[in-house]
Structure 1
Amino acid sequence: MGPGDLAPVRDMVSLFSRADQRHGGGHARTAVVQYLVSDVSPMLRGHFTDARVRREMVSAAAELSYLSGWMAFDNGEHAVAQHYFTLAVSLAAEADDPPLAGHVLRAMAHQAVDLGHPREAVRLASAAVEGQRYASAAPRERALLGIVHARALAAAGQRRAAATWLVRAEDDLAAADAGDDEPGRVFFFSEASLAHETARALAATGDLAGAQREFRRSVRTRKASTFTRTHAVTLGYLGAVQARRGAIEEACVTWSRALGAMEGIHSARTRRIATDMRSALSPMRGRGVSAVAELDRRAATYLAESA
């Protein structure tokens, strides 16, 4: 196999990545796994024209394994996600691709934060920014590794260290340029993504005003038609922060937008937002507030249809 065999695999990684961003991890995850197992894995056992081509094919397989894990994570299949993440780290090491290994470790840290394991999240996020995983990464990818490190530190109560990494991530993203030689896997990471993760870190430290500001920046700067799943998630988190700050009417407006964006999304994270929304609204259900009743009905419908 030669360089021409790499292009179709990379095209499929890009196709599946964009489908995940628009429709959620529950939409085509089994198709990604099938492609990895039936098409790409046999290629790794074939003959290559040179060692470089083989390394690049192993990297492509690692990205597919990472994507299988990420989509499983997004769909709430956490043990499956950890299996594919672990495989992806192993393949990245075989391909001698430190930034890709860092990318996957960052995803594992993200999962650990969301599952409420801050110490494990810090361990994984620290590994993601260690040595060449961070140093040899493109600026955009460094920003991604750094912002998740900040989130993990914030979740673990290490506010000062988290603040340092928040600033570093901002600086790294500011250094990214359209002409950079950066991997396609970071196509999604932009100002909107950085603002979203910054908001989550600030919320973890109790800075709700700062979290609200950053969630609003994320909503304002994201291309919602392309990154629909994350847009819906951001709106859901923004509504939750507004409700915690006592602005329940404002939260209802935001949650209504979130539910609108969730249409057609298959993601455990959006389902969790709809569930949390119903819990937050439950004290007001019996008060005859039509907006609350309508939101509750829509959230219940979404949960039933996306199950």
Structure 2
Amino acid sequence: MTTALGYTASELGGAHARHLVVRYLVDDLGRWLDGPYNEAVGRELVTATADLGEPKARAYYATAHARTAAADSDFAAARARLSVAEKAMDLAVDTPGISWAGHYSPGRWAHEAALVHARMGDMRAAEEHIEHALSLGLDRRRTRAMVLADLGNIRFRREDVDGAVDAWTEFVGLAEGVHSTRIDRSAADIAVRLGSVAGKPAARVRELLAQRSQI
């Protein structure tokens, strides 16, 4: 269950995972707390509650807080929470564990931190973090495609149109054959942004995106 929650949070976002976490706490932890206690229940309860203090879980929630603060234009709080998250990730072992946040890797964190920086308007920091995410490696093709889409968006906002097209070209290649609402949404957004971009590379990306939309 904890591993499943981790995948849900990283692939679909915290909003989708939140209600699952609540059900986990109510249905599972609640059952242990309300029922008769024995040694087996004690071991399960210790394992489950230990997950909440695991460094990757701390990093996940601190980053979620930073994202909310940035959306509210509370940039000081956003930077402070990102600092907390970064320290937690530095303490975490970069291997999946029993925690539901076990699959929240440094690469995934760097990607989310990049989006927080972008929300605050610090596009240089955003690009540095997202390139760091790519350099660390990402465990799923869909995840890497999403990171490349975001990298292109960040470069586009920095008026690095050629760099944006390069990232989006990689995105199209990775997204081929991948069925995902998030991928489809990114593809549509990229197509709009490319509408005003001249040149053969951009035209080729537009062509591939048009083919994708017809599938």
Assess, with a 3 A threshold, how the Cα gap between structure 1 residues 134 and 246 changes in structure 2: closer, same or farther: farther
Q: Aligned pairs, how many? A: 197
2:22 is aligned to 89
CA RMSD of aligned residues (A): 3.1
Counterpart Cα distance in 1 of 2:55 and 2:112: 17
Deviations 1:123-164 (A, max 9, x none): xxxxxxxxxx89942111111111111111111111001111
SS in 2 for 1:185: coil
Assess, with a 3 A threshold, how the Cα gap between structure 1 residues 167 and 90 changes in structure 2: closer, same or farther: same
Alignment pair present for 1:203 and 2:113 = no
SS in 2 for 1:95: helix
TM-score, normalized by length of structure 2?
A: 0.79
Assess, with a 3 A threshold, how the Cα gap between structure 1 residues 170 and 240 changes in structure 2: closer, same or farther: same
1:167 is aligned to 83
Counterpart Cα distance in 2 of 1:167 and 1:85: 23
Candidates 56, 64, 67, aligned match of 1:148: 64
Deviations 1:50-99 (A, max 9, x none): xxxxxxxxxxxxx49x94x987x57xxxxxx86x85365134223228xx
1:294 is aligned to 204
Candidates 272, 278, 281, aligned match of 2:191: 278
Within a 5 Å distance, the mapping from 1:73-88 to structure 2 comes to 73=12, 85-86=18-19, 88=21
Within a 5 Å distance, the mapping from 1:103-182 to structure 2 comes to 136-177=52-93, 182=97
1:234 is aligned to 147
Counterpart Cα distance in 1 of 2:207 and 2:156: 18
Counterpart Cα distance in 2 of 1:191 and 1:70: 12
Deviations 1:205-248 (A, max 9, x none): 0101111111111111123xx32111111100100111111111
1:50 is aligned to none
Counterpart Cα distance in 1 of 2:105 and 2:23: 28
SS in 1 for 2:177: coil
Counterpart Cα distance in 2 of 1:134 and 1:201: 28
Counterpart Cα distance in 2 of 1:185 and 1:266: 25
TM-score, normalized by length of structure 1?
A: 0.57
SS in 2 for 1:246: coil
Maintained 8 Å contact 2:94/2:105: no
Maintained 8 Å contact 1:134/1:142: no
* One-letter identity of the residue aligned with 1:150: A
Maintained 8 Å contact 1:232/1:262: yes
1:188 is aligned to 103
Q: Which runs of 5+ in 1 are unaligned?
A: 1-9, 18-62, 75-80, 98-132
Assess, with a 3 A threshold, how the Cα gap between structure 1 residues 167 and 249 changes in structure 2: closer, same or farther: same
Q: In percent, how many aligned pairs have the same letter?
A: 25
2:135 is aligned to 220
Counterpart Cα distance in 1 of 2:171 and 2:193: 15
* Range 138-147 or range 232-241, more displaced: 138-147
